[in-house]
Amino acid sequence: MRTLPLFALLTACATTPDGDTTDDTTSGGAPEACAWEAAPDLDPSPDVVEVEFSAGMVEWDPGNGKPIDGLGFGGTVPGPRIEVTVGQTLRVRFHNDLDMPTTIHWHGLRVPEAMDGITQMDHPIQPGETFVYEFPIRDVGFYWYHPHMDTATTLEKGLYGTIVARAPGEVRPACEQPIVLDDVLTSRATGQILPPGTEMDKIMGRLGNILLANGREDRNVGIKAGDVVVLRLVNAANARHFDVGIDGVPMTLVGTDDGFLAEPQTMDRVALAPGERAVVMFTAPEDVGGELVLMNRRVHLHEDGGGETHMSETDPLGDGENAVMRFTVLDGGTGATWTPPAYDLPPAFTAGAPVHSWVLNEDMMGGTVTIDGKSWPDVPTVTVPGDELTTFEIDNQSIMRHPFHIHGNRFEVVAIDGQPVEAPAWKDTFPMMPKSKITIVSQLDNPGTWMLHCHILEHAEFGMAGLITVE
């Protein structure tokens, strides 16, 4: 019998009985604490984490004094933070208080097919119904959850939340801050989220006019001078690709979608396509009272890795950099450091002969987006044996970026345009550049029929989605 890890006890003490996270707190005044505050575990067994929440209407202040009539899990945007350890079972008692049928997809987690929210699309959770999701946690990492129906509308309105899956015995950093990056397109007059857009939006993806960190544009998190700060970042935007950094503060990337890196990488900026995650750390400066601003730089969705733009596009935020959130340096630092757990680190896979090459494209004349020349749901299923290292290619023949996401099975990118990728990383979502091809290797040890799709939500809904059956 496993014992309850100390950090789980600490977490249980730090949360409120009604399961609210601090995400709905006002951030205009004193900085909020840097903390991962998890939803309370309702099951006393050390082997099970049970949480309970609903999806419903939420009036939510994005920080500009104009509350949004939005949607949320557990009454907040983002929804409850879930904390589990590899080897535990996660049980989520979910009530649908929306006025539409829905499902939850556990983005990146290798769950059984029936829990993935996809096959459920044929028999969704109806308004007023309850469904219990339950599955074992297999992999360490930073994950998120969101509906897998009407995604472009429901995610824009605020339906998303985060999950951390810790290694057994993982020591938590003193300052660990999840940050859900998002943008929403609002009416300047009313502050309300504008209705789903035009046919052009379906091709171009919908970009917002305000940037949000954990649902607000005025987040201010306190960090202690000289201490290490660990950020868990996820991009929950419909189409916006984020490129964030803090001027003069280098960051060390220690984790990607589905786990930690064998070799951390120091960088000035972190790029995140919709659906991607990153775990980064930096050291807070010593000047108490100082302020750091996390800035986002515009990413052109029709620009390739070499800086060539294939088509002009407009961004409601313009061409400059925009603030995402602030950090205020407080005293009381203890020189705290943190070493990420060396747990299930990605091995160096070698590519074999690809068993399939998925081709992503746009049909401008037909006004659609395609995988292998077809649009969902009229797509052929690729069937492959399970439990084998399997090589695939993804060939983006279009002039636009497409973040490519596979459900149910993690992978490594081993080559980009034929050039080997030296540092292995566990991924489930990868930002495909225009006119580029990648080679991936997956273990395929989770049998089932899985969706694969572009994570620009307008593209996924508009047809850039396919299926793979792992036998």
Q: Which is nearer to Cu ion, 115 or 454 (CB)?
A: 454
Under a CB-based contact definition with an 8 Å cutoff, are residues 425 and 256 in contact? Answer: yes
Nearest to 238 by CA among 297, 325, 301, 177: 301
Angle in degrees, CA 141, 146, 150, rounded to 5? 150
Q: Which is nearer to Cu ion, 88 or 368 (CB)?
A: 368
Residue 394 sits in the site that holds Cu ion (CB under 5 A): no
Residue 402 sits in the site that holds Cu ion (CB under 5 A): yes
φ, ψ of residue 262 in degrees (nearest 5): -70, -35
Least Å distance, CB 274 to Cu ion, is 9
Q: Which is nearer to Cu ion, 85 or 396 (CB)?
A: 396
Least Å distance, CB 453 to Cu ion, is 8
Residue 152 sits in the site that holds Cu ion (CB under 5 A): no
Least Å distance, CB 309 to Cu ion, is 17
What are the DSSP calls for 255-287, one per residue?
EETTEEEEEEEEESEEEE-TT-EEEEEEEPPS-
Residue 459 sits in the site that holds Cu ion (CB under 5 A): yes
Q: Which is nearer to Cu ion, 211 or 454 (CB)?
A: 454
Least Å distance, CB 324 to Cu ion, is 23
Stretch that binds Cu ion, among 37-45, 218-226, 401-409, 422-430 (CB under 5 A): 401-409
Q: Which is nearer to Cu ion, 223 or 454 (CB)?
A: 454
Residue 420 identity (one-letter amino acid): P
* Pattern 351-390, Cu ion, x by CB under 5 A: ----------------------------------------
Q: Which is nearer to Cu ion, 81 or 146 (CB)?
A: 146
Least Å distance, CB 313 to Cu ion, is 13
Tell how strand 220-224 and strand 322-330 pair up. parallel
With tokens 């209407």, the residue in question is 57
Stretch that binds Cu ion, among 46-54, 87-95, 158-166, 400-408 (CB under 5 A): 400-408
Residue 410 sits in the site that holds Cu ion (CB under 5 A): no
Residues contacting Cu ion: total by CB under 5 A: 4
Q: Which is nearer to Cu ion, 91 or 459 (CB)?
A: 459
Q: Which is nearer to Cu ion, 179 or 465 (CB)?
A: 465
Interface with Cu ion in residues 438-457 (CB under 5 A): 454, 456
Least Å distance, CB 402 to Cu ion, is 3
Q: Which residue is nearest to Cu ion (CB)?
A: 454
For residue 129, give the DSSP letter. Answer: -
Angle in degrees, CA 164, 453, 160, rounded to 5? 35
Q: Where are the beta strands (DSSP E) in 298-447?
A: 322-330, 356-363, 368-371, 381-384, 390-396, 402-406, 411-416, 419-420, 429-432, 436-442
Q: How many CB atoms lie within 10 A of CB 317?
A: 17
* H helical segments located in 114-161: 151-156
Distances (CA, A) of 343 to 141, 234, 446: 10, 21, 20
Binding site for Cu ion (CB under 5 A): 402, 454, 456, 459
